[in-house]
Chain A
C-alpha cells in the first residue's frame, strides 16, 4: 500500500512538472517554425485524443474523425466569411456542426460494426469531400478556403499566444476524456468493446453509449478543426487526403491505442519525426507507414506500454540476479 501512494505521489509530481513545462514552453522556443510544429502537435493531439476515445476505448472502428475535423474547419470558415462572425465564435460553430454531422452519420452507422462501420465512414469521408468540391463557391474548392486569423482587440494574435489557446483546448479534451473514461460511460464503452453481446445482456445499451461518445468526440474535434482553419488561415481539400488518416492512425498506434496520453505522445513523435526527415520529403510517408507496421508487429500495445514492459522486465531481471547471488 505504501508503495502505491509513493508511486501516486511521483506520478502527481510528474504531471505537475509536465503541465508547468508545457506552460513555460514559449519561453524556450524562439524558433517560429518549431513553435508552429508544437501547435500542430497539439492540434493533432486533440484529434487523435478523441479518435482514440471512440476507437481505442469504445471499439468503434471508424475513420470519420478527420472528416469531422474538416467539417468543423470548413463550417467555421464559411460562417466567418459569409456571416462575418468572429473566429472565436467560429470555434463554437465548428464544434456544433461537427457534432450535428456526427449525429447524422452516427445514427445509422453506429448500428453496424466491424468492417461495415469502417466502410460506411470511409464512404462518408469521400462523401464530405465530394460535397466540398460541389459547393466550391463557398468552400473554395481545390483552391482552399481563406479564413481570417484570430484577433484580440483588433490585433492579430501571435503564435505563442495561439499556443495557449490550443493548449487549453487540448487540456479540456484530455480532461474530458479522462472524466469519461473514469465514469460509468467509460466502463460501458470498454465493456462494449470487449463483448457487445455480454454488455447488452448485462444491461448496457451499446448504441446509446457509442452515439453519446461519438458525438462528444466530434464536437471537440470540430473545435480543433475550426482552430486549425483560422490558425493556418486556410483550409483546403488536402485535409481529406488519405495520408492524414494514415498519420493520425499512426499516432494512435505508436502511442498506444486505448491509453489516455499515448496518442498525444504519438502525435508528438509523428509531427516531429516528419520534420527530422524533412530532407527526405518524398520518403516520409513510407517511413510513417513502415513505422506503423513495425509497431503493430513488435509493440502492438504502443511504444509507451512496450517500453514500460521492457523496463519492468529489465528491473525484475536485475532482481532475480541479485536473489540468485544471495542464494
Chain B
C-alpha cells in the first residue's frame, strides 16, 4: 500500500517534470541548443499567475490565459536576444547569453516582487482520501492539466501548419529551408511554445512549493537530466524519462534518504552519457 502511494506521488511529480522539460526537448529538436533561462521562464509563469490572481483579482482561467500570452512573448524575446545573434555561429555564446539572461530575470523578479516567498492559492483547496492514498485535488488536477497540455501539444505538432513546420525543421534544417519554410519564424515560435510550456509548469509548481525568484532553477536541473535520459529532441522519450526520474526520486527518497536522490540522478546521468549518449529513446545523431 505504501508502494501504491509512492507511485501516485511519482505520477504527480513526474507530470510537472514532463511539462518543465518538454519545452527544452522541443527547443533542442529545432535549434540544437539548450536554453539556460528555461528555469527563469518557469518562475515567470508562476509569478504571472500569482500576480494576476492576487493583485489583479483575475479568475484562474484568466490568469492562465494571461500567463500563456505573456510567456509566448517572453519566449520570442529570449530568442531574439540570446539565440538569433549567435545562431549557427557560436553555441558557446548562446549558452553564456542565456545564463546571463536567467541571472537578469531572477533579479528582476526579486526587485519587482521582493525576495519573500509568495503563497499561490491552489485552484481547488481540498484533500481527497481513498484508503491509504491521499492527495490534494490540486495535485490530481496537475496530472490532468499535464495530460491535456501534452495532447494539445501533440495535436498542434501533428495537425497544424505551424506544428508541421516545427517538426520539419527539427528533422532536417536544410530540407526545411529548401521547401520554403521560414526557419526564422519557426525558431521564435518554438521558443514561444517552449516558454509557454515552462510557464504552465510554473503555474502548477506555484501552489505546491512557494513562488520565489529562484524557484525555477531546481526544476530546470531536473529537466536537463530528463531530456538527456529521454534522448535530446525526443518528446516521447522526454515524457517517459520525466516519470522515470520522478519514480527514482520518490523511491530513493523513501527508502534510502531524501538527500541521496539528487546524487542518484547524477549517477544515472553519467551512466547514460557514457553508455548511451543518445538517451533511452533518442536516435544517435552521429552520421557517417
Contacts and interface: CB of A to CB of B under 8 A. Distances in A.
B96 A115 contact: no
A57 B112 CA distance: 40
Nearest to A129: B262
B265 interface: yes
A123 B221 contact: yes
Contacts of A130: 259, 262-263
B265 to A, nearest CB: 7
B102 interface: yes
Contacts of A242: 99, 102-103, 106, 214, 217
Contact of A283 (B107, B217, B259): B107
Contact of B107 (A285, A292, A296): A285
Contact of A290 (B85, B104, B232): B104
A242 B221 CA distance: 12
A122 B262 contact: no
Contact of A296 (B34, B97, B111): B97
Interface size range on B against A: 35 or more
A61 B95 contact: yes
Interface stretch (B51-59, B144-152, B269-277): B269-277
A124 interface: yes
B266 to A, nearest CB: 4
A116 B95 contact: no
Nearest to B258: A134
Most chain A beta-carbon neighbours within 10 Å: one of B34, B103, B214, B273 = B103
A300 interface: yes
Interface in B242-275: 259-260, 262-263, 265-266, 269-270, 273-274
Given A118-B95, A250-B100, A282 B274 contact: no
Contacts, number: 109
A111 to B, nearest CB: 7
Contact of B259 (A108, A114, A118, A134): A134
Interface string B70-93: 000000000001100110001111
Contacts of A306: none
A229 interface: no
B273 A296 contact: no
B99 A123 contact: no
Given A285-B103, A296-B93, 4 more contacts: A109-B273, A123-B224, A123-B225, A246-B99
Interface of A: 61, 108-109, 111-112, 114-116, 118-120, 122-124, 126-127, 130-131, 133-134, 242-243, 245-246, 249-250, 253, 257, 282-283, 285-286, 288-290, 292-293, 296-297, 300
17 contacts: A109-B270, A109-B273, A112-B273, A119-B228, A119-B269, A122-B221, A122-B224, A123-B224, A126-B262, A130-B262, A133-B259, A242-B214, A286-B107, A293-B81, A293-B101, A296-B100, A300-B90
